[in-house]
């Protein structure tokens, strides 16, 4: 059986989410690095998925899009025996899916708003939108910190889809809005995420590209690429 093909970039938060999940599920992907600045490559990618958002998976001729659906596809068709990110129990699975959506909507989205504003040319910045995005992140931190009281992982006793969403969302969000001292549970959780082998591998893969990240000024020194 041929490996599923992943069109991606290691710097992308949603691509990292999928790579983390693949690592955790024991799935080997045929990774194809996207350079959307190349007109031919961009045209080929848009022919595959006209929305133009990465990552995109091609598996046995089927195109699979949207990170959460992509991860569910990998679990359904390619996970190693005994590996799961979405529980079999329906109620537990709903909790995992809820926190996956909360992380995407209320951490990933405002984080990306901050990044987008940095990419705007002078005179076209959106200071109000940027400020509101940072306020949204601070609010989300409090919600997540409260959720983590007495918990090791976000949506159950085991590392799950929700944690795959949390790792890249929080990693980049913290470059724009640092954690407050009262968010000790969230700070400890973030360190557990970083120590998880599936997350650590995705960060190591992205490390050479962090120099191109618009919010790199907020990156902790431990994440910066080693200069040769």
What is the residue-level pLDDT of the chain in tens, covering all 228 positions?
689 999 999 999 999 999 999 999 999 999 999 999 999 999 999 999 999 999 999 999 999 999 999 999 999 999 999 999 999 999 999 999 999 999 999 999 999 999 999 999 999 999 999 999 999 999 999 999 999 999 999 999 999 999 999 999 999 999 999 999 999 999 999 999 999 999 999 999 999 999 999 999 999 999 987 654
Instruction: Indicate the DSSP class of residue 1.
Output: -
- State pTM to two decimals: 0.96
H runs (alpha helix) in the chain: 13-25, 39-48, 67-78, 90-103, 109-119, 127-147, 161-173, 184-195, 197-206
């Amino acid at each position: 059986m041929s490996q599923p093909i992943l069109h991606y970039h290691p710097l992308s938060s949603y691509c990292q989410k999928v790579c983390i999940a693949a690592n955790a599920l024991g799935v080997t992907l045929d990774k194809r690095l996207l350079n959307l600045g190349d007109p031919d490559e961009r045209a080929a990618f848009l022919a595959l998925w006209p929305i133009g958002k990465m990552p995109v998976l091609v598996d046995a001729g089927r195109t699979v899009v949207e990170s959460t659906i992509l991860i569910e596809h990998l679990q359904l068709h390619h996970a190693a025996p005994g590996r799961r990110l979405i529980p079999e129990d329906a109620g537990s699975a709903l909790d995992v899916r809820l926190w996956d959506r909360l992380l995407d909507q209320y951490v990933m989205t405002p984080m990306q708003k901050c990044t987008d504003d940095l990419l705007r040319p002078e005179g076209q910045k959106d200071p109000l939108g940027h400020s509101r995005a940072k306020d949204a992140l601070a609010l989300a931190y409090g919600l997540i910190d409260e959720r983590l009281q007495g918990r090791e992982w976000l949506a159950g006793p085991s590392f799950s889809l929700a944690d795959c969403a949390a790792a890249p969302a929080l990693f980049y969000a913290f470059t724009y809005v640092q954690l407050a001292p009262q968010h000790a549970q969230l700070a400890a959780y973030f360190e557990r995420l970083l120590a998880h082998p599936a997350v650590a591998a995705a960060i190591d893969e992205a490390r050479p590209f962090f120099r191109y990240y618009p919010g790199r000024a907020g990156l902790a020194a431990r994440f910066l690429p080693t200069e040769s």
